[in-house]
Amino acid sequence: MNHKRILSLFLIYFFSLSGYAQSRKIISLPDIEGYKTLKCDFHLHTVFSDGTVWPTVRVEEAWGEGLDAIAITDHIEYRPHSKDVVADHNRSFEIASPLARELDILLVRGAEITRNMPPGHINALFIKNANLLDREDVMDALKEARDQGAFLVWNHPGWKAQQPDSTVWFEEHSQLLANNLLQGIEVYNSNKYYPEALAWANEKKLAMFANSDVHGPMNVCEGHRPMTLVFAKSRTEGGIKEALFARRTVVYFDNTLMGKSSLLEPFFHASLKYDKAALKMANGVNKPVKITNQSDIGYELELVQPGVGVDAPESIVLKAHHVTVFNLGGNSDEIAGMKEINLYYAVKNVFTAPGENLLVTLSFLNRQP
């Protein structure tokens, strides 16, 4: 056998052994000025707590779905498989780590501190040693996490098992905030949206999260899992950590985005490409304009204020990965002299607060200056 043949046999052997999906989905979400948009899921379970999959499977799933980063966050206090899976709290991270490095998935070391409400379930991200979080008193566990440099997230704050009637912010949560023991909150978990959490994130300056909290095999037939979009200076673990502490996150589930307008507005515009040519509108003249949406997100726009001198559509759908053409009609003599035409829309599937849509301005050049 020549060397080439030995090599190719070795490669076939290697790839048939490796279990991960061999095609990786490409998620098309734009970066924004100064930041990379990282697609992350910071809440996952394995057999090392109450999940049913091996830790490397979480890495394979993330790779196949096109994610940048994950955190395995097995429960500290709830380990129903502990008779069969005998290991300490760091083991799931240690097992997943080499494959994550090989596949370039950023793996954040995490754990879920799992208590009754209040304070409920808290994810500790970027910890150094999960074993030290195994403490009798929840405050001791949280302080230990904080001392390890952790970022702490209140998980599924309106989970019916813990808050059956209404979603309450307890005095204990104010104490966590005051003691630097809470920096983030899940606005979306698995398939549930918590509007209260979105309001609290704004009010109390918490980073917003959307996580899968998956326990069994990830089963994405169409669409995508819920994701936390992180706007990071670099695609590194340190970059993610800096961005989380700076609260640069956006919630992404189904075809919906939630976050601060300071992030969502540049993200919206970065998703689109506009015609650069001047329109040269005049009274009574109709002109088509074209917008290309290169992102995975379809934007549903609703006119909030008529533009000056121009008739524009009441609603526009900018379908994902499509070019959308619509007509503008000049309706006054004023239009001929205007340098640009501004249209004001609400984006119906992008939220800055419960029931509040992102407001955007679509600007088109009318006359060369």
E strand segments, the chain: 36-44, 69-72, 106-114, 121-125, 151-154, 184-189, 192-193, 207-211, 227-232, 249-253, 256-258, 272-274, 286-293, 299-305, 310-311, 315-318, 322-330, 340-353, 356-365
Of the listed pieces 63-71, 95-103, 106-114, 302-310, which binds Zn ion according to CB under 5 A? 106-114
Of the listed pieces 2-10, 97-105, 196-204, 207-215, which binds Zn ion according to CB under 5 A? 207-215
Residues with Cβ within 8 Å of residue 145, at least 6 apart in sequence? 111, 113, 124, 127, 133, 152
* CB of 186 vs Zn ion, minimal distance in Å: 9
Residue 67 or 76: the one with the smaller Cβ distance to Zn ion is 76
Kind and range of the H or E run holding 129: none
Residue 114 or 271: the one with the smaller Cβ distance to Zn ion is 114
State the virtual CA torsion across 206, 211, 215, 221 in degrees, nearest 10: 170
Of the listed pieces 82-90, 111-119, 132-140, 242-250, which binds Zn ion according to CB under 5 A? 111-119
Residue 31 or 77: the one with the smaller Cβ distance to Zn ion is 77
Residue 130 or 360: the one with the smaller Cβ distance to Zn ion is 130
* CB of 196 vs Zn ion, minimal distance in Å: 19
* CB of 45 vs Zn ion, minimal distance in Å: 6
* CB of 200 vs Zn ion, minimal distance in Å: 19
Q: Is 213 in the site for Zn ion (CB under 5 A)?
A: yes
Of the listed pieces 105-113, 220-228, 270-278, 361-369, which binds Zn ion according to CB under 5 A? 105-113
Distance CA(288)–CA(174), nearest Å, equals 53
Residue 112 or 296: the one with the smaller Cβ distance to Zn ion is 112
* CB of 241 vs Zn ion, minimal distance in Å: 20
For the chain, what's the residue count?
369
* CB of 212 vs Zn ion, minimal distance in Å: 10
Q: What does DSSP say about strands 69-72 and 36-44: parallel, antiparallel, or unpaired? A: parallel
Indicate the DSSP class of residue 55: H
Residues within window 3-32 making contact with Zn ion, judged by CB under 5 A = none
**Helix 55-64 vs helix 91-103: angle between axes, to the nearest 10 degrees?**
30
* CB of 155 vs Zn ion, minimal distance in Å: 6
Residue 65 or 213: the one with the smaller Cβ distance to Zn ion is 213
The distance of Cα 313 from the centroid of its chain, to the nearest Å, equals 31
The count of residues interacting with Zn ion (CB under 5 A) is: 2
Q: For residue 266, say if its preceding peptide bond is cis, omega within 30 degrees of 0.
A: no
Of the listed pieces 180-188, 212-220, 243-251, 322-330, which binds Zn ion according to CB under 5 A? 212-220
CB contact at 8 A, 249 and 207: yes
Binding site for Zn ion (CB under 5 A): 112, 213
